[in-house]
Structure 1
Amino acid sequence: MFKKKATLNERLTALDTAADLGAGFLTPSEHARLDAVAAAGAERRALSAEHTVVGFFGATGSGKTSLFNAVVGENIGKAAARRPTTSSPLAAVWEPEGSEELLNWLDVEDRRNRQGEFAPGAGPLILLDLPDFDSVEPIHREITTRLAGQVDVLVWVTDPEKYADSIIHDHFIRPHAAHSAVTLAVLNKSDMLKESDQRAVADSFAALLHEDGLKKVKVINTSARTGMGVDQLRTAIAKVAQAHSAQTKRIEADLVAATSPWAESKAPAEPPKQAKREMDNVLSQAAGADRLASATAAAYRKRLGQQTGWLLTSWMLRFRPDPLKRLGLREEADELGVHRTSMPELDASSKAIANRGVRGYASAISDGLPQAWSSAIADRAEDIIDELPAELDRTAAKTRLPAQPSKAWGIMTVIQWLALLAALVGVIWYLMVAFLPGALTPLLGDELVPEVEGWPIPTLLIMGGLLLGIVLGLLTAVFGGVIGANIKSRTKRALRKEVAETSQAKVVEPLGEIRSQYIDFLAAIRTAAGG
């Protein structure tokens, strides 16, 4: 699908966003570079778009000022006694209307307005003669470095003796290698060379520029003394000015240069889902999933035994402590709506297990991230590890524990009571026969203990009631064991679900935020770079 190319303003905004997202991760110089380019681009866009600013840069003795005067058409570089040397920027301005704010932004005080136009169709133009960048005065180099980052067009002026000097290449030309579209290269004092050598030296200079990264810059041979190449340089400047695109191309070049360290970086792949599952398994283990599940199953068996066991013995189960209450676990929130436990704090082994889980996950999602971002994830993971024991305790506390037998088991309780009642009826029957036979005579006549198939009915009531109670107690105990195993598995799953939610909120999201910040940073960089 066709993607609309970002406008220059959108690219500058994206660079500003990238600077914000990179704060705390980029080195101070990297962050300052992004901030400076974003600010300078926005400021330049807000100033005169009609004027093209061309800066002449050169080393001491290169004849830069003389060439500047030759291009201007007047020796304005020495027109004032206060400027005997190139110690401060000097501006020659054609069509000065609207240039004041731009020159103020450039911090150029010495301004010379020129009559007419620089060249037919060139439009408003500002030529700057700048201090020598190899001056012994630090302020001169500071001015030159600053303006090299502000002018629309850069004119590098050198001579046959200094064209290969490392100062101009390492400190000035190479850092602006992305600016080929707004760069002119001049080999001044070419009259010092034999005519047959002029092209060879210019080609050598061009080769060095190519090595610096300026692939499309053509070298112009000039001589301020003889006037050689001056018209050709004027024509080249006029051609750039006539296009009225130097400002835009300069800002675009700045954006490309500023984003180049990251422009080719690829967003990291999504972390494997297995990493989250492995962490949840480890954290569940550290949270005491086995212990909690066993306690829940034991609590279920105890409560079922109390509810459905043989009534003559099941009451004794009430004196056994409830496994869940022993751990301080509540199946319902307390009066404050808070779940708490009195489970002991994670021991060293459990903490080590939990730490391994978090660090393993942090390592997995750091894969593919630069050192600064992966270090930030590692640091955040250590903070999370410090808070994890309390979080796991709260997770265990709020886990829904299926330790209470269902109400359906109540029918067994009713049957147990009926069985016990039957046995009691048999016992009372025999007692009444022995001690109060007259009370039974009106009901049973002379046969106070009737039989069924040779078995006395009271005896059947006693034996049947007791046997039924015991058998039911044994059966429910067996069922309790089977169901308890299922309860144990369900509890583990429930705790793991709670652990998964906790790890999502307390581990995945905080660490993922850092990772997402890098992805957003790269997206902003790509937009700023024009990708």
Structure 2
Amino acid sequence: MSRHRGKGSATRLDARLEALDTARSLAEGVLPQEDLEFAYRTLDRASSRRSLSGDHTVVGFFGATGSGKSSLFNAVLGESVARTAAIRPTTSEPLAAVWGTGGSGPLLDWLEVSRRHEAAPVEGFADEASGVIILDLPDFDSTESAHRAVVERLVGMVDVLVWVLDPQKYADHALHSGFLAPLRRQDGVTIAVLNQVDRLTAADRGDVLESLRGLLAAEGLGGVQVLEASARTGEGVPAVRAVLRKVAAGHRAASERLSGDVADAAARLAAASGEGEPAGVRPAAFRRLAEELAAAANVPLVVEAVRVHTRRAAAARTGWPLTRWVRRLGRDPLVRLGLARPDAAPRVNRTSMPAPSAAERARTDAAVRAFADGASEGAPGPWRALVRAAGREGRERLPDALDQAVAGADLGADRRSWWWFPANALQWLALLTALAGAAWLLVLAVVGYLQLPVPEVPRAQGWPLPTLLLVGGMLLGIVLALVLAPVAALSARRRAARARRRLTAAVRAVADAEVVAPVQEAIERYARFAAAVGQARG
């Protein structure tokens, strides 16, 4: 379709054709294929017509058997070129009368019209410079299927449509439903000629004309010019020529016809799409989705593991040195979950958490479905289905993506708090003080045991200094451990809270990439489609 894409939107028609092609592309896989193919054919036809002579205006004479179409064709030309008959159809293939043959060949080849007649100038109507081409076409109600196929093809290709009607068949259902009704956006290049009016009385003529205009108006063709003529007597023929001359003047009929075709194709896409406005991605719905995915990713379990791990680490570094070994009993929860591996690459890291159960997967699917349903609410049926499908397309990847997000999140569990070092130093100072007192007392005991002179022991407030060192050091270590335990618990809770925020952010990023972004893209695709259809409709 690259040839359909204009490079600069130089004209309004260029922009509308570009918009129609954009709408068609965006609707691929969403709207029925027959509607997309109709738009494609419109674009292809417009591209072909615009590549051919713009100095010629193609006028097609359409009519039923016995309407006098060929007779009116001859009357407008001022010469007998087309075969005529009162009853049986005589036009078996299109006949072109051309004023200004230069450049008309490729155009007529595209129309597949091989019978061509170089028409003589008609004063006040057409000459070599006017570039008018009039086609006498087979009867649309011919018993020959090939004749009807030619009419159906050229109805969509000529620039101006002249419907020649007779007083008896002007209200024919096949004519109005099969041909005229679909041309409601072509009333600027459609003309209705009530032929054979010489067979009507003045009163009947007025009634028939009023009835015909009413039928056309009811079909959305109120802007169609209705003329009356008689090919046999020549009445009204100058008026038909004048209208054709006016329509062909300026060579704008082809563009007007294409504009109507584009509007038809765009309206058909709009009808297939339906109307509506999707609710879009709401913050509250996104929060609910993230909460459900966080639960599915076992974020609360990981947060608790971070808290316990941090408290264990704090106790192991700031507790009483003589009882620290107790803290090493039991397996660290982060190790058990496979999250204490700071050397692993995040993109290949995985946790050791069990795979989600069927119930957990169902809960995740329900959350994703609820989010997509909420975002698509209000959208037309085909587009709502697209938004829902977009939301669900990543659900198979969610468990693995969530697990990797948790594994790759920086939990900060292995960072040491600033207060651990001074607390640890105080604990070791207390322990060394107690050990110094104990060693002193041990030396005194050995000296006494060996019946050696025992030196005088320094005293403080009447207490022996070695005893004060031993008891004081032990009491200081125990008190420090008791005081620092709440500090360690508070630090663990804060670190767990930071881990929760980081895990939540990681889960939200997964939700955004796997669910929200596809949903948003589908909604934006519909918005672009609606805008393109609106522009194409003009």
Same fold (TM over 0.5): yes
What pairs with 1:345-356 in structure 2 (closer than 5 Å)?
A: 345-356=355-366
Which of residues 326, 330, 352 is equivalent to 1:320? 330
Which of residues 48, 53, 74 is equivalent to 1:69? 74
2:521 aligns to what SS in structure 1?
Answer: helix
Question: Shift of residue 121 of structure 1?
Answer: 6.3
Counterpart in 2 of 1:29? 34
Q: Deviations over 1:281-306 (max 9, x none)?
A: 22112211211111111111111111
**Alpha-carbon distance between aligned partners in 1 of 2:341 and 2:222, rounded to the nearest angstrom:** 74
Counterpart in 2 of 1:113? 118
Counterpart in 2 of 1:306? 316
1:426 aligns with 2:427: no
2:395 aligns to what SS in structure 1?
Answer: helix
What pairs with 1:363-512 in structure 2 (closer than 5 Å)?
A: 363-404=373-414, 405-436=416-447, 446-447=455-456, 449-512=457-520
Which of residues 134, 152, 163 is equivalent to 2:159? 152
**Alpha-carbon distance between aligned partners in 2 of 1:41 and 1:311, rounded to the nearest angstrom:** 89
Counterpart in 2 of 1:523? 531
Between 87-96 and 218-227, report the one with greater CA deviation.
218-227
2:164 aligns to what SS in structure 1?
Answer: strand
1:267·1:522 contact (CA, 8 Å) conserved in 2? no
1:51·1:99 contact (CA, 8 Å) conserved in 2? yes
Q: Deviations over 1:35-83 (max 9, x none)?
A: 111221122111111111111112222222222222222222229xxx9
TM-score by length of 2: 0.91
Q: Deviations over 1:364-405 (max 9, x none)?
A: 221332222221222233321121111111111112113233
**Alpha-carbon distance between aligned partners in 2 of 1:109 and 1:43, rounded to the nearest angstrom:** 18
Moved over 4 A (4+): 263-270, 437-442
State the aligned residue count.
521
Question: Shift of residue 433 of structure 1?
Answer: 1.2
1:209·1:215 contact (CA, 8 Å) conserved in 2? yes
Which of residues 181, 185, 188 is equivalent to 2:188? 181
Counterpart in 1 of 2:55? 50
2:396 aligns to what SS in structure 1?
Answer: helix
Question: Shift of residue 439 of structure 1?
Answer: 10
1:70·1:230 contact (CA, 8 Å) conserved in 2? yes
Question: Shift of residue 219 of structure 1?
Answer: 1.6
Query: Cα distance 1:265–1:373, how it changes in 2: closer, same or farther (>3 A)?
Result: closer
1:94·1:117 contact (CA, 8 Å) conserved in 2? no
Query: Cα distance 1:162–1:308, how it changes in 2: closer, same or farther (>3 A)?
Result: same
Question: Shift of residue 269 of structure 1?
Answer: 5.7
Q: Identity rate of aligned residues, in percent? A: 41
Q: Deviations over 1:327-358 (max 9, x none)?
A: 01146251686322111112233323322222
Query: Cα distance 1:68–1:11, how it changes in 2: closer, same or farther (>3 A)?
Result: same
Letter in 2 for 1:145: E
**Alpha-carbon distance between aligned partners in 2 of 1:267 and 1:54, rounded to the nearest angstrom:** 42
Which of residues 282, 287, 290 is equivalent to 2:297? 287
**Alpha-carbon distance between aligned partners in 2 of 1:167 and 1:519, rounded to the nearest angstrom:** 39
2:66·2:89 contact (CA, 8 Å) conserved in 1? no
5+ residue gaps, structure 1, are none
Letter in 1 for 2:357: D
**Alpha-carbon distance between aligned partners in 2 of 1:11 and 1:525, rounded to the nearest angstrom:** 9
Query: Cα distance 1:335–1:20, how it changes in 2: closer, same or farther (>3 A)?
Result: closer
1:181·1:249 contact (CA, 8 Å) conserved in 2? yes
Between 274-283 and 393-402, report the one with greater CA deviation.
274-283
1:302·1:317 contact (CA, 8 Å) conserved in 2? yes
Letter in 2 for 1:75: S
TM-score by length of 1: 0.92
Query: Cα distance 1:336–1:526, how it changes in 2: closer, same or farther (>3 A)?
Result: closer
Q: Deviations over 1:225-257 (max 9, x none)?
A: 222222221221111112421111111111222
1:205 aligns with 2:215: no
Q: Deviations over 1:171-194 (max 9, x none)?
A: 111111001111101112222322
**Alpha-carbon distance between aligned partners in 1 of 2:243 and 2:237, rounded to the nearest angstrom:** 10
Letter in 1 for 2:477: G
**Alpha-carbon distance between aligned partners in 2 of 1:251 and 1:277, rounded to the nearest angstrom:** 49
Counterpart in 2 of 1:254? 261
Question: Shift of residue 516 of structure 1?
Answer: 1.5
2:29 aligns to what SS in structure 1?
Answer: coil
Counterpart in 2 of 1:273? 283
1:56 aligns to what SS in structure 2?
Answer: strand
Query: Cα distance 1:290–1:203, how it changes in 2: closer, same or farther (>3 A)?
Result: same
Q: Deviations over 1:120-166 (max 9, x none)?
A: 46711011112222223333222212211111111112222211111
What pairs with 1:72-151 in structure 2 (closer than 5 Å)?
A: 72-78=77-83, 85-116=90-121, 119-120=124-125, 123-151=130-158
Question: Shift of residue 118 of structure 1?
Answer: 6.9
Q: Deviations over 1:403-447 (max 9, x none)?
A: 2332431121121111111111122222211114599989xx731
1:357 aligns with 2:362: no
1:128 aligns to what SS in structure 2?
Answer: strand
Query: Cα distance 1:187–1:458, how it changes in 2: closer, same or farther (>3 A)?
Result: same
Q: Deviations over 1:257-286 (max 9, x none)?
A: 221242995664653222222211221122
Q: Deviations over 1:437-479 (max 9, x none)?
A: 599989xx731x3321122222222221111111222222211
2:186 aligns to what SS in structure 1?
Answer: helix
Q: Deviations over 1:183-211 (max 9, x none)?
A: 10111222232221112101101110011
**Alpha-carbon distance between aligned partners in 2 of 1:440 and 1:209, rounded to the nearest angstrom:** 137
Letter in 2 for 1:115: A
1:477 aligns to what SS in structure 2?
Answer: helix
RMSD between superposed Cα atoms in Å: 2.5
**Alpha-carbon distance between aligned partners in 2 of 1:353 and 1:439, rounded to the nearest angstrom:** 79
